[in-house]
Structure 1
Amino acid sequence: MNLEEEIEKYRRQIATDSYPMSIGELSNLYRDGEIDIHPEFQRIFRWEPSQKSRLIESVLLGIPLPSVFVAQNEKGIWDVVDGVQRMSTIFQFMGILKGEDGKLVDPLVCSDTPFLKQLEGCSYEPSENSTRNLTSTQRLDFKRARIDMKIIKRESDNQAKYDLFQRLNSFGSTATPQELRNCLLVSLSKEHYEWLGETSKYAPFLKTIDLPERLTKEKYHMELALRFIFLRNIDVAGLASVGNIGDFLTSELIKFVEWDDERLNQERGIFQKAFDILAAAGGPDVLRRYNPSLDRTEGPFSLTAFEALALGVGFAIPNTDVSAEEVQAQRSVLWSNTRFAAGHATGMRADQRMKSTIPFGRSLFTR
């Protein structure tokens, strides 16, 4: 296949449209629930008040804004893929933005801006928190300002939406990899995003991984849940093609959103049973490094222990009874093995480490 044939092949996989829309039209779509800016995203792609104010200043000055990319879902609703903060800021300024609880967010009052000095303290309409507001003429001009909309039509496949999301959001974002992954998952299937959120809140799981607050805020517990779900049953040959673990987890979301309720229930059952066992076997200690010679646990959460013990238990329990006592005994076997001595994984890529930890962990619990 030559370059031209490749271009034609991949162009056919994504159907797009493009046209400018006024802010007034977009605000009506938002009020009617026909455009979804995903309140879940607003905690992730958070702008400072100064950034929001500069955007409002740009609209009032007629400075063209970057295109907003939306994906049309199966119901015809537009999911914002790129442009969440631009849309959120505009709707907050107009006083129509809703938060995750469905309630209106306090209207935006602008701060100091580079050019329009009188915009400081200004709101869209009269507000008790502002010192001035736009005139009726200025509000009309604001609503008539146009934004270029790029629409990914619903006949485009999930792979095309995934590729676009990756390209638009992987550069210069302050979001963590799992936060970006969550945004992609919401736009592919909110049902599966909610399933992952609920599954990763399972108390014995959180107790056992025992992450610091910072990592929990960055949604690392959700990444660990995905690692368990996607790697628990991966065939050994497949481990060789994992490559970058972050890219692997993200790409697997395309398959994940095709899972039906039966598969989701089955996976949640295995997940919960595995961490019930691990919690009973020692909770946080079982996924930390163990020093057999001193008979004590050392250090924080260990990915080596997670890949060998947690994934080993997860692989075994659909067909084998695993007890908490067995996990405790096999933890000693794991850390007594010279392959997993302290510092063995220093500087090693995750996919290289997993080629030894995952098969070894399975051998501990498979009879």
Structure 2
Amino acid sequence: MGEDIAFDQDTTNDVDAEEATIGRTVRTQPADPDIRGLHQRHKDGDLVLQPEFQRKYVWDATKASRLVESVLLDVPIPVIYLAEEDNGTDYVIDGQQRLTALFSFIDGRHPDGTVFSLRNMEVFTELQGLTYANLPSEYQHKLKRYPLRTVTILRDSDPDVKYRIFERLNTGSVPLNDMELRNCVYRGPYMDLLRQLAADDVFRRILGLSGSVKRMKDVELVLRFASFHHATYLRYDQPMKRFFNADMARYRNITDHDAQQLRTTFHRASLAVQTVFGTNAFRRYHAGHDKNPAGQWEPRWFNASLFDVQMGVLAEHDLNQVTRAADRIREAVVDLMVNNSRFIDAITMGSSDRTRVRDRFDIMRRTVDEVLADHPSQPRCFTRALKQELYDADPTCRICQQHIAILDDAAIDHIEQYWRGGQTIPTNARLTHRYCNATRPRRD
């Protein structure tokens, strides 16, 4: 079945209203080919019934037989929608089950290999149990010459409008999600590359994946990274869905040079995130409160907004530099999630809003830049190694005198405050809860 990747609801839902597509065009071509012609095109490879994005064939023998009977009765069959690819091939985007049933009957076997003989006929009961080869010739001719209305979305249609059309035709029992729809609209070298990057060992290890992933959620994460990498967050404009679609359209036939550059950057970002955050990558840290000062990492949900900034910002820096400062970067980012209300809002509320996107990137970039620029002889932040040493010696908060449950919930406080000239040295350090440290009174 595949593994799932669970995200905060707000960070994956694009709540912006759909904008009108005035000025954008979609070109379509209606036609009425007969079943014989469509069947031959399918055999020649010019009509693809089950592209990668389509669901598997699910009709049973009775339902397929009833469709054949409807054709023999001249009952109108719903329109078949096709999409023209750059190479001239047409993909079925609506009508796959119907065409598969009709072609299977002509070929004599269901897709699972069993013989296709007519079942449970209601009008043509005399045809019960017959295969196509056994049908009287007049019925064979009628079936093959029956016209089906098709509408083909031509290759030069606006990709964004094409995507919207696919959305509206997406009415199956399990509708395709946004990334599955993109896989339908934007097939090509770029989609192949995104799939390859989603299989990166380091990236999968960060997400805790061991098997296949349901519904291309891992591929959509890679697209998130690539979209902000290519356009930068400064050129982001909502809705986020359209921002991602624009990246897919622009790089659909990505060059080898651009592909290699993205591959290198994505792998470097994954290594940096793994080094800094480990198994807590892309997860929120929840601060304690006055009744319970103990904080904790989010145990279930990934946060897509944190994914954007952790991957995007760390990708901008030299991996060796990030590795040397990994503990201090981690401490600074956890502090953002606990004490910076603007950052907290930017990763939790209306996170696809343009202002929120810029806020979280700006704050994250500034934070990481400050850590990396901090002079090693007199840093502002204590090392994680010192925190581990103090925690191992006595995991008690020096402010509330309660036990500190996990190391990440601990903060090292300057006894003589830094802004008053206190040094970042072991003798000027005390272990506290993050919450207690953030809410303690500041002496003048």
Q: TM-score, normalised by structure 2?
A: 0.63
Give the superposition deviation at 1:254: 1.5
Report the CA distance between 1:211 and its aligned residue: 6.8
Counterpart residue identity of residue 358, structure 2: K
Q: Greater Rg, structure 1 or structure 2?
A: 2
C-alpha contact 1:71 1:153 (8 A) present in aligned 2: yes
Deviation of 1:222 (Å): 1.5
- Residue 80 of structure 1 aligns to a residue whose secondary structure is strand
The structure-2 alpha-carbon separation of the partners of 1:18 and 1:51, relative to structure 1 and needing over 3 Å to count, comes to: same
> Which position in structure 2 is the counterpart of 1:129?
none
My pick for the range that moved more, 259-268 or 354-363, is: 354-363
1:252 aligns with 2:256: no
Structure 2 partner of 1:350: 352
AA at the equivalent of 1:226: L
Which residue does 2:340 correspond to in 1?
A: 338
SS in 2 for 1:195: helix
Counterparts of 1:273 and 1:212 in 2: how far apart (Å)?
21
For residue 192 of structure 1, what is the amino acid of its counterpart?
Answer: Y
Give the Cα separation in 2 of the matches to 1:137 and 1:60. Answer: 10
Structure 2 distance, partners of 1:121, 1:271, is 59
SS for the counterpart of 1:219 is: helix
Letter in 1 for 2:322: V
1:313 matched residue in structure 2: 314
Contact 1:286/1:328, CA 8 A, preserved across alignment: no
Unaligned runs of 5+ in 1: 1-5, 99-103, 127-132
Report what 2:222 is aligned to. Answer: 225
Q: Deviations over 1:131-163 (max 9, x none)?
A: xx7555433332222111223444545455445
Q: Distance in 2 between matches of 1:340 and 1:212?
A: 35
In the alignment, is the contact (CA less than 8 A) between 1:92 and 1:108 conserved in 2? no
Structure 2 CA distance for partners of 1:318 and 1:342, relative to 1, 3 Å: closer
Structure 2 counterpart of 1:206: 204
Q: CA deviation at 1:62?
A: 2.2
Determine helix, strand or coil for the equivalent of 2:175: coil
The structure-2 alpha-carbon separation of the partners of 1:80 and 1:171, relative to structure 1 and needing over 3 Å to count, comes to closer
Shift, 1:185, TM fit? 1.9
Query: Which of 258, 261, 270 is matched with 2:265 structurally?
Result: 270
State the AA in 2 paired with 1:66.
P
Question: Aligned pair in 2 of structure 1 residues 177, 60: CA closer, same or farther (>3 Å)?
Answer: farther
Aligned length: 340
Aligned to 2:415: none
What is the deviation of 1:27? Answer: 0.8
In 1, Cα distance between equivalents of 2:262 and 2:349: 32
Task: Please list, as runs of the form range in 1=range in 2, the aligned pairs for 1:276-295 lying within 5 A after superposition.
Answer: 276-291=271-286, 294=294
Establish whether residue 36 from structure 1 lines up as the match of residue 39 from structure 2. no
**Using the alignment, how far apart are the partners of 1:108 and 1:361 within structure 2?**
62
How far does residue 22 in structure 1 lie from its aligned partner after superposition? 1.0
Distance 1:280 1:319 in 2: 9
Q: 1:345 to 1:136 in 2, by over 3 A?
A: same
Per-residue CA deviation, residues 3-45 of structure 1 (Å, 9 max, x unaligned), is: xxx99x65xx5444322111111111111111123431333x7
Evaluate the alpha carbon distance shift between residue 24 and residue 318 of structure 1 in structure 2; reply closer, same or farther with a 3 A threshold: farther
Q: Secondary structure at the match of 2:243?
A: helix
Equivalent pair of 1:52/1:110 in contact (CA under 8 Å): no
1:65 shift after superposition: 1.8
- The residue that corresponds to 2:235 in the other structure is 238
Distance 1:304 1:120, change over 3 A: farther
Quote how far apart the aligned CAs of 1:117 are. 8.8
- What is the distance in 1 between the residues matched to 2:348 and 2:66? 45
CA distance in 2, matches of 1:97, 1:202: 40
Tell me how far 1:203 sits from its aligned partner.
Answer: 2.3
Question: Is 2:80–2:149's contact at 8 Å kept on the other side of the alignment?
Answer: yes
Amino acid at match of 1:351: D
Q: 2:96 aligns with which of 84, 92, 103?
A: 84
Change over 3 Å in CA distance of 1:199–1:51 after alignment to 2? farther
Amino acid at match of 1:146: P
Partner of 1:328: 330
What one-letter code is carried by the residue in structure 1 that aligns with 2:197?
T
- Contact 1:57 1:113 (C-alpha < 8 Å) held by counterparts: no
Q: Does 1:106 align with 2:109?
A: no
- The 1:183–1:125 alpha-carbon spacing in structure 2 relative to 1, beyond 3 Å, is same
Determine the C-alpha separation between the residues in 2 that align with 1:248 and 1:318.
Answer: 27
Match of 1:229, as an amino acid? A
Per-residue CA distance 1:247-280 (angstroms, 9 max, x = gap): 4323432213143221122112111121122233
CA distance in 2, matches of 1:261, 1:59: 49
Deviation at 1:303, TM superposition (A): 2.4
**CA distance in structure 1 between the partners assigned to 2:108 and 2:269 by the alignment:** 45
**Secondary structure of 1:281's aligned partner:** helix
